[in-house]
Amino acid sequence: NERQPSKIPTKQNIRKALKWLVYGCQPGDSLVFHFSGHGTRQKDYNHDEVDGFDEALCPLDHETEGNIIDDEINDTIVKPLTRGTTLHAIIDACYSGTVLDLPFVCRMNKEGRYTWEDQRNPSFYKRTSGGLAFCFSACDDHQTSADTTAFTGTNVRTGAMTYSFVQAIQNERRLTYGHLLNAMRYTIGDVSKAHGASQEPQLTSSDKFDIYSRPVVL
């Protein structure tokens, strides 16, 4: 129903918005990129992916213009981040676990605590220009994400990940990354069980840090 052509989520408009987001970023800037829509994965042709697939976002015109793959997203909004600049990406889409191509992935160990998995590729190590990048994703790279009416009480569907993220941010003060991830996992888990699907929210980062002590500041 969007009437302004510049706000329709076409590939060209999304590309422009991503470039606008980081243009002229300076120390102290806190940037947020939220995408709620379709995601996919496709064959990795430059061999920088551990699983052999690029993760991608699907713009409205993806059938004719193609997807926006993780390599491009990293080049556009991760690499330009200068020292003192912070980016938070919230990606509510299928196959979105590493869609920013950040090198460190938070995984839950057998003891039920999150630890960092180093996915740096010596030949394709992708880094910022001194800034910090964090990405909360709806699910792992091989999983799909759910839309649901469970949270609205109406026939209006909403992304389970987006809802769980907003609820956690609103309901808890001085929320740490670990507590936020757990809160999202708990909320999404109820929806996943109802749909018979597996959906684990993911956190990736440009740097390792203690997720149980660092507060989330958007």
Active site residues per annotation: 38, 94
Q: What is the dihedral of CA 173, 37, 192, 70, to 10 degrees?
A: -90
Closest CA to 32 of 83, 105, 104, 81: 81
Distance CA 138, CA 164 (A): 10
Checking phi first, is residue 154 left (phi over 0); if not, alpha (psi -120 to 50) or beta? Answer: beta
- Helix (H/G/I), strand (E/B), else coil: 33: strand
- The C-alpha angle with vertex 201 and arms to 200 and 206, in degrees rounded to 5, equals 130
CA-to-CA dists, residue 129 to 53, 77, 87, 101, 214, angstroms:
25, 11, 12, 15, 22
Spell out the residues 6+ positions from residue 21 whose beta carbon is closer than 8 angstroms to its own: 31, 33, 77
